[in-house]
């Protein structure tokens, strides 16, 4: 199995998939033709829910590639779209024939428009940009149409650049001393305006140069991916370089701060946080944060708005032990400086960790960041074994009740998830998996006995996904635990496998390779009841207010997810005490309704929901400054929402105490972890709820 890791990577299941069936119809085709035909064959033959290569698919791929090229509507005009739309219903025929005709035509037009846009912003930024009172810029491209002609495109760029310069000036004034004031018509204002334009010019040059540095193969990969994503959000083509990066991520070879970054318009944005990394341990950097500045320790920060992602990554990365400070814009629009000490990913931080809660320490707490398992080395750590060991140690210390924290656990190994569910139930099915052919396999706990049969609460949130949803769903269906957290979990109920297209190709000449890879959805999993977590997630028994509850998030918000459906229920017997569950839920709802902390979270969520729709901003300096001041004052009212003023008693188990005593760094890490638990409003409510289950 080890030798096949290059071709087939474990995502939720280790699945063998024959690639010999995907063949090219011609001998020695070009690389583009080979990739297109291989991807078309794989999508139509091996995807869980194949779609016909027809005009509907062609339209979907056309729209997706247009979004890739110019989703912000800054380059193409309506006339350009009319020209490109002549091929809108031809892409299905072209991919099956191995033709890249539309890609070549649209790519050539894009390169031309890119050059024109560069000349335009350089000309506009050469002098102060006019901005009239009452004039606004729409920041949400979905609320804008493509400019009708070149004149409309010119006006769009004028408003956009005026908005960018104004925002930069206001940010600079906010960063300055409290007594600093910028007043239009003064020399200091003119100097600040000229400095802002100069910075915008530098940032846009950097951004455009990075776009132009992308080679044709990378753009072609994005074109092919437009077809893959038409099938579901998790099916994806990787051009050779992207495939290599994907394999590096899957094998855990990571460095730096441990945050995956991606370029969205002019902003480099945090796409995800690597579990166990320096960013994860520091705790303030979040998915969706936009990077504004990067500084090396206390050095002068470098403005990275509009900078290419490769250069930003080079600024963020560095030697272990050195500090980088990231100035980021949070989802609520506030600005924050996040200091992170660089490090390699410490695998220990991804492992299960436990503590004792309360003055008497009788409540156990286990945090599982991911479902880890080494598929190739039985001597290495397995999350199911680790959770078992933590439970046994907590029991030895007199544990009477347990909180199992699966928040932000994005999943991992399906067998490990089955084993973990088996720690709390005595034999029986845990999850069902269905293939595209309709056959269903039941994965069951086959180990007699339970490790913990006492009161149990599982903490979840919208980041609880995939394998962690399997565990939460099984424990809920067996009535073995109360699920506490956001209204529902993420809602990913599909399984992917990776095909190496080099292995799929037969009879080609060596100059065709490498061809890249295709991550393909091949199965769906279901609860023991026959219901699905796909789109629906796991609905919490106890729903707690959440800052982003008014903003849709999860699998259902992705483009083209597989539908939710149901299959027959497996044979299982629920356990648990319904009356105790009802009493605990009612008590929790009463506490939450009276809680000042949860009330503030609800208020913030409502405010944030309203702010989300405010996407038009003034262009003139004074009007923008006034709007920004009002928003900033609102944000300050909601600082440290989930942090309690008083602290809950938390202490480590014996192994944690030994680790703390072994090194100052370990002691600091444990203290930081325990402090976070002690002031976590959700852990506090979980403690009250699991205590109610004991009565």
Whether residue 354 sits in one domain with residue 336: no
Domain that holds residue 92: 51-230
Please give the C-alpha separations between residue 385 and each of 156, 275, 366, 662, in angstroms, as whole numbers.
Answer: 59, 19, 13, 24
Buried b or exposed e, range 40-71, using 16+ CB within 10 angstroms: bbbbbebbbeebebeeebbbbbbebbbebbbe
Give the pair of three-digit tokens for residue 178: 């409290």
In a domain, 238, yes or no: no
Q: Which DSSP helix (H) or strand (E) runs through 138?
A: strand 136-138
Mean pLDDT of the chain: 85
User: Domain with 680 in it: what CATH number?
Assistant: 3.90.226
- Of the residues 341, 365, 391, the one at which a domain ends: 341
In a domain, 527, yes or no: no
Half-sphere exposure of 132 (CA within 13 A, CB side): 4
Query: What span, in angstroms and rounded, lies between the C-alpha atoms of 425 and 476?
Result: 11
Q: Is the pLDDT of residue 246 over 80?
A: no
Buried b or exposed e, range 447-464, using 16+ CB within 10 angstroms: beebbbebbbbbbbbbbb
Whether residue 469 sits in one domain with residue 378: yes
Whether residue 312 sits in one domain with residue 185: no
- Residues 598-655 have pLDDT tens digits of 999 999 899 888 888 889 999 999 999 888 888 888 887 777 776 777 788 998 876 6
The greatest distance separating any two alpha carbons of the chain, rounded to the nearest whole angstrom, comes to 80
Give the pair of three-digit tokens for residue 349: 């931080």
pLDDT at 659: 61
Whether residue 320 sits in one domain with residue 214: no
Percent of the chain with pLDDT over 90: 55
Paired strand residues for 337: 327
pLDDT at 348: 54
- Of the residues 341, 362, 397, the one at which a domain ends: 341
Q: Is the pLDDT of residue 1 over 70?
A: no
pLDDT at 276: 66
In a domain, 179, yes or no: yes
Which class for 593: exposed (0-12), middle (13-18), buried (19 or more C-beta within 10 A)?
A: exposed
- Residues 460-498 have pLDDT tens digits of 999 999 999 999 999 999 999 999 999 999 999 998 888
Give the torsion through C-alpha atoms of 303, 307, 312, 315, to 10 deg: -50
- Of the residues 309, 341, 373, the one at which a domain ends: 341
Q: Please, are residues 190 and 621 in contact by the beta-carbon 8 Å criterion?
A: no
Across the range 252-259, mean pLDDT stands at 61
The alpha-helical segments, DSSP class H, found in 98-178 are 101-124, 150-175
Domain count, the chain: 3
Asked, as a colleague might, if the bond just before 662 is cis with ω within 30 of 0, I would say no
pLDDT at 6: 23
Whether residue 154 sits in one domain with residue 56: yes
pLDDT at 4: 26
pLDDT band per the 50, 70, 90 thresholds, residue 334: confident
The DSSP code sequence of 677-691 is: HHTBHHHHHHHHHHH
Query: What span, in angstroms and rounded, lies between the C-alpha atoms of 594 and 414?
Result: 40
Give the sign of the dihedral formed by CA 140, CA 143, CA 145, CA 151. Answer: negative
Q: Please, are residues 488 and 549 in contact by the beta-carbon 8 Å criterion?
A: no
The 3-class secondary structure across 443-475, one letter per residue, is EEECCCCCCCCCCEEEEECCCCCCHHHHHHHHH
Q: Could you tell me where the beta strands, DSSP code E, fall in 594-664? A: 616-618, 650-652
In a domain, 557, yes or no: no
In a domain, 418, yes or no: yes
Look at 203-217, 328-342, 383-397 and tell me which has the smallest mean pLDDT: 203-217
In a domain, 192, yes or no: yes
User: Domain with 277 in it: what CATH number?
Assistant: 2.30.42.10
Q: Output DSSP code: residue 179.
A: T
Whether residue 547 sits in one domain with residue 404: yes
Query: What span, in angstroms and rounded, lies between the C-alpha atoms of 346 and 612?
Result: 36
384 SS3 class: helix
517-526 and 494-500: which strand pairing?
antiparallel
Query: What span, in angstroms and rounded, lies between the C-alpha atoms of 285 and 275?
Result: 12
Whether residue 314 sits in one domain with residue 179: no
Whether residue 266 sits in one domain with residue 127: no
Whether residue 299 sits in one domain with residue 177: no
- Residues 95-152 have pLDDT tens digits of 999 999 999 999 999 999 999 999 999 999 999 998 888 999 999 999 999 999 999 9
pLDDT at 514: 80
Query: What span, in angstroms and rounded, lies between the C-alpha atoms of 5 and 7?
Result: 5
pLDDT band per the 50, 70, 90 thresholds, residue 250: very low
Query: What span, in angstroms and rounded, lies between the C-alpha atoms of 639 and 28?
Result: 62
Whether residue 582 sits in one domain with residue 470: yes
> Annotated active-site positions, please?
466, 477, 492
Look at 33-47, 130-144, 229-243, 484-498 and tell me which has the smallest mean pLDDT: 229-243
Q: Please measure the distance between the N-terminal and C-terminal CA atoms of the chain and give it in whole angstroms.
A: 50
Percent of the chain with pLDDT over 70: 87
Whether residue 100 sits in one domain with residue 80: yes
In a domain, 42, yes or no: no
Whether residue 326 sits in one domain with residue 196: no
Query: What span, in angstroms and rounded, lies between the C-alpha atoms of 383 and 427?
Result: 19
Across the range 183-205, mean pLDDT stands at 90
Across the range 14-19, mean pLDDT stands at 27
323 SS3 class: strand
| Planar angle of CA 554, 534, 221, nearest 5 degrees | 65
Look at 24-38, 114-128, 290-304, 451-465 and tell me which has the smallest mean pLDDT: 24-38
- Residues 530-574 have pLDDT tens digits of 999 999 999 999 999 998 999 899 999 998 999 999 999 999 999
Query: What span, in angstroms and rounded, lies between the C-alpha atoms of 64 and 223?
Result: 8
pLDDT at 662: 59
Name the nearest CA neighbour of 500 among 7, 33, 20.
Answer: 7
Buried b or exposed e, range 127-141, using 16+ CB within 10 angstroms: eebebeeeebbbbeb
pLDDT at 657: 62
The DSSP code sequence of 334-356 is: -EEEEEEE-----GGGGS-EEEE
In a domain, 109, yes or no: yes
Q: Is the pLDDT of residue 345 over 90?
A: no
């Amino acid at each position: 199995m080890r030798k096949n890791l290059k071709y087939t990577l474990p995502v939720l299941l280790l699945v063998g998939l024959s690639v010999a069936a995907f063949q090219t119809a011609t001998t020695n085709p070009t690389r583009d033709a080979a990739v297109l035909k291989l991807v078309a064959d794989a999508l139509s033959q091996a995807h869980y829910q194949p779609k016909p290569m027809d005009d509907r698919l062609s339209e979907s791929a056309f729209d997706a590639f247009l979004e890739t090229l110019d989703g912000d509507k800054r380059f193409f005009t309506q006339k350009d779209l009319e020209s490109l739309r002549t091929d809108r219903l031809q892409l299905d025929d072209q991919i099956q024939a191995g033709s890249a005709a539309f890609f070549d035509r649209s790519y050539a037009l894009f390169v031309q428009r890119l050059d024109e846009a560069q000349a335009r912003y350089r000309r506009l930024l050469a002098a102060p940009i006019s901005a009239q009172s009452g004039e606004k810029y729409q920041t949400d491209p979905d609320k804008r149409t493509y400019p009708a002609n070149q004149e409309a495109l010119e006006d769009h760029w004028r408003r956009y650049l005026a908005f960018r310069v104004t925002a930069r000036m206001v940010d600079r004034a906010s960063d300055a001393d409290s007594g600093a004031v910028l007043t239009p018509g003064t020399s200091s204002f003119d100097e600040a305006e000229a400095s802002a334009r100069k910075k915008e010019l530098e940032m846009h040059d950097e951004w455009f140069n990075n776009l132009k540095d992308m080679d044709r193969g990378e753009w072609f990969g994005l074109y092919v991916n437009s077809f893959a994503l038409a099938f579901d959000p998790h099916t994806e083509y990787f051009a050779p370089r992207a495939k290599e990066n994907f394999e590096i991520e899957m094998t855990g070879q990571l460095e730096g701060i441990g945050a995956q970054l991606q370029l969205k318009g002019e902003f480099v944005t945090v796409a995800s946080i690597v579990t166990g990394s320096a960013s994860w341990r520091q705790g303030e950097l979040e998915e969706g944060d936009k990077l504004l500045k990067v500084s090396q320790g206390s050095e002068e920060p470098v403005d990275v708005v509009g900078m290419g992602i490769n250069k930003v990554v080079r600024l963020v990365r560095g030697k272990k032990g050195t500090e980088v400070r990231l100035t980021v814009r949070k989802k609520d629009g506030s600005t924050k400086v996040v200091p992170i000490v660089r490090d390699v990913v410490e695998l220990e931080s991804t492992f299960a960790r436990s503590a004792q809660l309360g003055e008497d320490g009788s409540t156990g707490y286990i945090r599982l960041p991911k479902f880890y398992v080494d598929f190739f080395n039985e001597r290495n750590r397995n999350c199911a074994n680790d959770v078992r060991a933590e439970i046994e140690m907590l029991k030895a210390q007199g544990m009477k009740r347990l909180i199992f924290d699966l928040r932000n656990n994005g999943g991992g190994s399906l067998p490990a998830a089955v084993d973990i569910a088996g720690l709390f139930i005595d034999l029986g099915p845990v999850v069902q998996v269905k293939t595209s052919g309709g056959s269903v396999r039941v994965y069951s706990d086959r180990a007699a006995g339970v490790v913990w049969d006492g009161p149990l609460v599982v903490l979840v949130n919208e980041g609880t996904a995939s394998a962690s949803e399997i565990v939460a769903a099984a424990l809920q269906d067996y009535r073995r635990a109360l699920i506490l957290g956001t209204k529902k979990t993420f809602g990913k109920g599909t399984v992917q496998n990776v095909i190496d297209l080099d292995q799929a190709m037969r009879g080609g000449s060596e100059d065709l390779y490498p061809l890249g890879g295709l991550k393909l959805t091949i199965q769906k999993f279901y609860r023991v009841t026959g219901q699905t977590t796909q789109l629906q997630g796991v609905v919490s028994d106890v729903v707690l207010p959440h800052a982003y509850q008014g903003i849709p998030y999860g699998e259902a918000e992705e483009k083209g997810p597989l539908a939710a459906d149901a299959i027959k229920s497996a044979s299982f017997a629920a356990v648990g005490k319904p009356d105790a569950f009802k009493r605990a839920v009612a008590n929790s709802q009463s506490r939450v309704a009276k809680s000042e902390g949860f009330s503030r979270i609800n208020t913030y969520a409502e405010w944030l929901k309203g702010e989300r729709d405010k996407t038009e901003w003034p262009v003139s300096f004074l009007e923008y400054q006034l709007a920004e001041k009002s928003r900033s004052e609102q944000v300050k009212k909601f600082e440290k929402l989930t942090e309690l003023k008083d602290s809950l008693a938390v202490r480590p188990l014996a192994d944690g105490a030994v680790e703390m005593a072994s090194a100052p760094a370990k002691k600091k890490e444990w203290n930081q972890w325990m402090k976070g638990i002690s002031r976590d409003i959700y852990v506090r409510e979980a403690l009250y709820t699991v205590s109610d289950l004991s009565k």
